[in-house]
């Protein structure tokens, strides 16, 4: 029985692969909170709008429900998920956010090919023309029939890339070999694996079949056995090393991407907009040739439908090297100014798909003070779109928005205000349903005030 479990036991169940068990655990935690048996902190103005769930890969094993509870437990006002190549987490996460009272959003990330930048590296290191790109503001895991083939193709491309990697790495690591169906897919809740799942499968296979695990990896990674022995005591660091040495550029498992390896930007945008969601560009750190031409790149992507920009702030200011920090922090300030001049709201977060990623950005850091409000406005913006689309069908891409909010700036301001005024969950939805949807946007905001 759920009510016999401790809070820690319930929180562990939140990340179980069994969806029914996750739902029951969250319901019981919320019941205890509402009954006064569990005290949670007041919410504060912090946000993490880019968290991967275990439906793609979360370094801490968090499910959609686990992330929603993490946000409420720690007093985060806003949280958003972004998974690679799948929308499996959308319904569960938004429902969980409603239950716990967190302003939530949901998205998808993939790599695309940008032919206009075919000779310039963008945000995928060492891969000219390849661009990490996103869609945010989804309201359902379901995809309209006219776009379902695009999502299925993305999933199949990812599966084929994984099989290619395994074929190459198996040949190199033999006799330590893995099978995709047997060894990798059981590490995932819904059959969508990433390189990080593959690495874990290889580490587990070596523990099963290598007579001397340290000696095996020392030979395959060209390291001293004593160094490997020490690394094996730090599983996350060791797995990152295996991934870098074997699967990234220069490794035996690396597959040089072709123009056909990833969808084109226009195709990905068709999927996003068919779902009523928002195409979102992604920025790394401003150091690549493509990102040094960021105004040109954003202009191109805006013309193709992009309406927001994603940033991972921590990699641009939380750096030990003073010169690198100065250079990258300046790049961060510059790209925020550029985004604001182009009317692109910001979607910021920590990813959580690599060990060591923060649970939330340090919004009180002095380095983030000049951009903090832009980050919070962007978080409220995407939640505002999400709650309007989910409740009334009047999100950013709706015919209503096109008629009543014809410019990006007008839409940005309106949905940001909605995000600030409308609370999450049933109470906020009830507020929205009482609005006169024939009224002008300013009058709707006045009604909410």
Rounded mean pLDDT, 168-174: 96
pLDDT of res. 1: 64
pLDDT in tens, 85-136: 999 999 999 999 999 999 999 999 999 999 999 999 999 998 999 999 999 9
The vertex-48 CA angle with 241 and 323, nearest 5°, equals: 55
% of the chain at pLDDT higher than 70: 100
Rounded mean pLDDT, 251-263: 82
Are 142 and 150 contacting, i.e. CB atoms less than 8 angstroms apart?
Answer: no
Enumerate residues 6+ apart whose C-beta is below 8 A from 335.
Answer: 283, 286, 294, 309, 311
pLDDT of res. 3: 77
Which CA distances in Å does 56 have to 20, 165, 316, 352, 353? Answer: 19, 17, 24, 11, 9
Dihedral sign, CA of 358, 359, 364, 368?
positive
In this model, does residue 331 exceed pLDDT 80?
yes
pLDDT in tens, 191-239: 889 999 999 999 999 999 999 999 999 999 999 989 999 999 999 899 9
Rounded mean pLDDT, 380-407: 97
Match 């072709």 to its residue by tokens: 258
The bridge status of strand 130-136 relative to strand 44-51 is unpaired
pLDDT of res. 444: 95
Tokens matching residue 284? 């790394």
Longest dimension (CA), the chain: 73
Beta bridge pairs of residue 81 = 51, 106
**Confidence band of 257 (pLDDT split at 50, 70, 90):** confident
The vertex-309 CA angle with 134 and 272, nearest 5°, equals: 35
The bridge status of strand 130-136 relative to strand 278-283 is antiparallel
How confident is the prediction for the chain on average, in pLDDT?
Answer: 95
Closest CA to 178 of 229, 246, 128: 246
Dihedral sign, CA of 366, 283, 314, 358?
positive
* Count of H-run helices and E-run strands, the chain: 19, 7
pLDDT of res. 249: 86
Match 């709650």 to its residue by tokens: 387
In this model, does residue 260 exceed pLDDT 80?
no
448: Cα separation from own chain's centroid: 31
What domains are defined for the chain?
40-143+275-445 (3.20.20.140), 153-247 (no CATH)
- Point out the least confidently predicted range of 19-28, 111-120, 254-263: 254-263
How many residues in total does the chain contain?
449
The bridge status of strand 130-136 relative to strand 346-348 is unpaired
Enumerate residues 6+ apart whose C-beta is below 8 A from 143.
Answer: 87, 151, 271, 274, 275
Taking phi over 0 as left and psi of -120 to 50 as alpha, with beta for the rest, 206 belongs to alpha
Q: What are phi and psi of 158, to 5 degrees?
A: -65, -45
pLDDT of res. 133: 98
**Confidence band of 256 (pLDDT split at 50, 70, 90):** confident
Buried/exposed code over 337-350 (b: 16+ C-beta within 10 A; e: otherwise): ebbbebbbbbbbbb
pLDDT in tens, 306-326: 999 999 999 999 999 999 999
């Amino acid at each position: 029985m759920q009510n016999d479990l401790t809070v820690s036991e319930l929180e562990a169940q939140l990340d179980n692969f069994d969806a029914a068990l996750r739902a029951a655990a969250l319901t019981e935690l919320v019941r205890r909170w509402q009954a006064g048996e569990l005290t949670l902190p007041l919410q504060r103005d912090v946000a993490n709008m880019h968290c991967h769930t275990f439906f793609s890969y979360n370094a801490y094993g968090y499910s959609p429900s686990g992330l929603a509870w993490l946000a409420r437990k720690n007093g985060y006002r806003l949280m958003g998920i972004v998974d690679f190549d799948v929308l499996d987490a959308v319904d569960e996460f938004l429902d969980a956010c409603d239950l716990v009272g967190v302003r939530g959003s949901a998205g998808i990330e993939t790599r695309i090919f940008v032919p206009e930048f075919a000779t310039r590296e963008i945000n995928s290191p060492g891969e000219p023309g390849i661009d990490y790109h996103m869609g945010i503001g989804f309201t359902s895991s379901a995809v309209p029939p006219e776009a379902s083939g695009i999502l299925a193709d993305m999933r199949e491309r990812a599966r084929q890339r994984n099989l290619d990697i395994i074929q190459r790495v198996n040949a190199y690591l033999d006799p330590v070999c893995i099978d995709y169906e047997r060894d990798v897919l059981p590490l995932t809740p819904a059959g969508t694996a990433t390189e990080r799942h593959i690495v874990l499968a290889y580490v587990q296979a070596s523990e099963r079949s290598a007579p001397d695990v340290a000696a095996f990896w020392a030979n395959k990674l060209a390291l001293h056995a004593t160094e490997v022995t020490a690394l094996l005591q730090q599983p996350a660091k060791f797995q990152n090393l295996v991934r870098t040495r074997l699967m990234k550029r220069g490794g035996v498992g690396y597959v040089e991407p072709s123009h056909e390896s990833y969808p084109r930007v226009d195709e990905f945008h068709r999927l996003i907009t068919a779902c009523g969601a928002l195409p979102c560009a992604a920025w790394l750190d401003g150091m690549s040739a493509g990102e040094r031409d960021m105004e040109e790149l954003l202009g191109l992507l805006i013309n193709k439908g992009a309406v927001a920009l994603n940033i991972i702030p921590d990699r641009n200011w939380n750096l030990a090297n003073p010169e690198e920090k100065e250079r990258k922090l300046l790049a961060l300030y510059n790209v925020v100014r550029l985004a604001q001049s182009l009317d692109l709201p910001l979607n910021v977060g920590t990813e959580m798909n690599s060990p060591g990623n923060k649970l939330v950005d340090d919004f009180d850091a002095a380095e983030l003070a000049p951009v903090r409000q832009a980050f919070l406005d962007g978080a409220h913006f995407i939640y505002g779109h999400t709650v309007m689309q989910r409740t009334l069908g009047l999100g950013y891409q709706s015919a209503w928005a096109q008629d009543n909010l014809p410019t990006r700036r007008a839409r940005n301001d309106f949905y940001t205000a909605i995000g600030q005024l409308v609370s999450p969950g049933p109470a906020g939805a009830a507020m929205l349903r009482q609005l006169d949807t024939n009224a002008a946007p300013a009058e709707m905001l006045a009604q909410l005030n």
